[in-house]
Structure 1
Amino acid sequence: MTPEDASKFIAYVLRHAPESIGLHLDAEGWAGIDDLVAGAVAVGRDLTRPDVVRAVDSGAKKRYELSGDGLRIRALQGHSTAQVSRSFDAVAPPVLLFHGTATRFLAAIRAQGLLPGARQHVHLSADEATAVQVGQRHGKAWVLRVDAGRMHALGHAFHRAENGVWLTACVPPEFLSEPERDA
């Protein structure tokens, strides 16, 4: 399994489908590395402990965290599984945050705002460049500005995951703006 394939597989299992390999996550998303590897092998995936450690250490996104004793792993955010309900401390966000999306989703976002979908939170970026990268995963990228300072002042909670991703329950349309583009 390539490092990229291993990382995608681990993300899928830890965020969305631990049951697909018979894995149990605790409420904070932790699973034993040996259990993850054994479950992967049981369903025909060629995953090893070094593959798991490499996935944690590689990539700019820093999707995973190892426990202090090196025996457990968890995804930092992005969970859609009901097994996990990570707790994050509420923190004051920067005045402006960004959300990268594909242009095909703009009509729904303009009408409904940003919703978490199957995930537990809406994911936001602290900088526009990161938002562009996120949006490009789904098609032609479009970056929305989020008036996080005003949202926070009106009582909306924000959290910051360990890898710098900003999280909130939703972003109503009135807090979104779009860059002016040349026609």
Structure 2
Amino acid sequence: MSRDSRAISRLLRHTAGERGLTMSADGWASISDVIKLLDLTEDRLEQAVRDNDKQRLQADGERIRACQGHSLQGMPVTREALENSWERVYPQHLLWHGTNRAALPAIEREGLHAGRRTHVHLAPSKDSHLGRRTRVEVLLGVDSGNLAVFRAPNGVLLTREVPVDAIVKVDAVH
């Protein structure tokens, strides 16, 4: 991911509030405001959106947003507005969440919570790169039957939390 892409993603996902960027509750900001705040050219911003490895950035005319992965604290986005801008989906198969072994005891007691983020990221398959961190030691199979699941524009699946009883499989990654 390029330096510009990282800077734009960070601003739109985590630091817009503290940096004074005006943003809608579903994450949209003015492209011209982002360019000014980050001292970019329009060409550099367009290239960052186009080349973003996880397709985290979405541009639409005069506005831009991060597709998902927003912090809750200090950001003008809300869970409700984000969910209303995403597609509600009803998967008929297990979804997957990657984590590390050290996190397993807490997950087995409490389930998966978004923590400081708006949503828990899920992947549609074990081998998916969508919604998955790079250093994964364990894959958790999630029965999404009773969960509200949404698909962001970049394909990542999201839910607010995953209760313990929805985690039905634990597979080590080799």
Task: Please give the TM-score of this superposition, normalised by the length of structure 1.
Answer: 0.80
Q: Structure 1 173/131 Cα, relative in aligned 2: closer, same or farther at 3 Å?
A: farther
Other-structure match for 2:17: 19
How far did 1:166 drift? 0.8
TM-fit CA distance, 1:10: 1.1
Is the alpha carbon distance of 1:130 and 1:158 closer, same or farther for their aligned partners in structure 2, counting shifts above 3 Å? same
Q: Which runs of 5+ in 1 are unaligned?
A: 42-46
- 1:130, CA displacement in angstroms? 2.7
User: What pairs with 1:31-180 in structure 2 (closer than 5 Å)?
Assistant: 31-41=29-39, 47-67=40-60, 69=61, 71-81=62-72, 82-85=75-78, 86=82, 87=84, 88-130=86-128, 134-136=132-134, 139-148=135-144, 150-151=145-146, 156-176=147-167, 177-179=169-171
After superposition, the Cα gap between the structure-2 partners of 1:140 and 1:147, relative to the gap in structure 1 and judged at 3 Å, is: closer
The structure whose Rg is larger is 1
Q: What one-letter code is carried by the residue in structure 2 that aligns with 1:62?
A: Q
Structure 2, unmatched stretches of 5+, are none
Query: Equivalent pairs: percent with the same residue?
Result: 36
Cα distance, 1:158 vs. partner?
1.2
Cα distance, 1:102 vs. partner?
2.3
Amino acid of the structure 2 residue aligned with 1:109: I
8 Å CA contact 1:92, 1:158 repeated in 2? yes
Q: Write out per-residue CA displacement over residues 2-56 of structure 1, whole angstroms, 9 at most, x where no aligned residue.
A: x522111111110111134321111121111111111123xxxxx3222221121
Give 1 or 2: higher strand fraction: 2
Q: Is the 8 A contact 1:123 1:166 kept in 2?
A: yes
Aligned residue pairs, count = 166
Q: Deviations over 1:96-123 (max 9, x none)?
A: 1111112222221111111011111111
Give the distance between the partners of 2:106 and 2:90, measured in 1 at CA. 28
How far 1:89 sits from its partner (Å)? Answer: 4.2
In 2, Cα distance between equivalents of 1:181 and 1:161 = 26
Matched with 1:8 is: 6
Residues 31 and 72 in structure 1, CA contact (< 8 A), matched pair in contact too: yes
Query: Distance between the aligned counterparts of 2:42 and 2:65, measured in 1?
Result: 14
Give the 3-state SS of the residue equivalent to 2:9 in structure 1.
helix
Question: In the superposition, relative to structure 1, how do residues 133 and 97 fare at CA in structure 2: closer, same or farther (>3 Å)?
Answer: closer
* TM-score, scaled to structure 2: 0.84
**Offset of residue 181 of structure 1:** 7.6
Report what 1:44 is aligned to: none
Q: For each residue in 1:121-167, what CA deviation from the matched residue of structure 2 results, as whole angstroms up to 9, or x when unmatched?
A: 1110112123698333xx4532111112x33xxxx211111111111
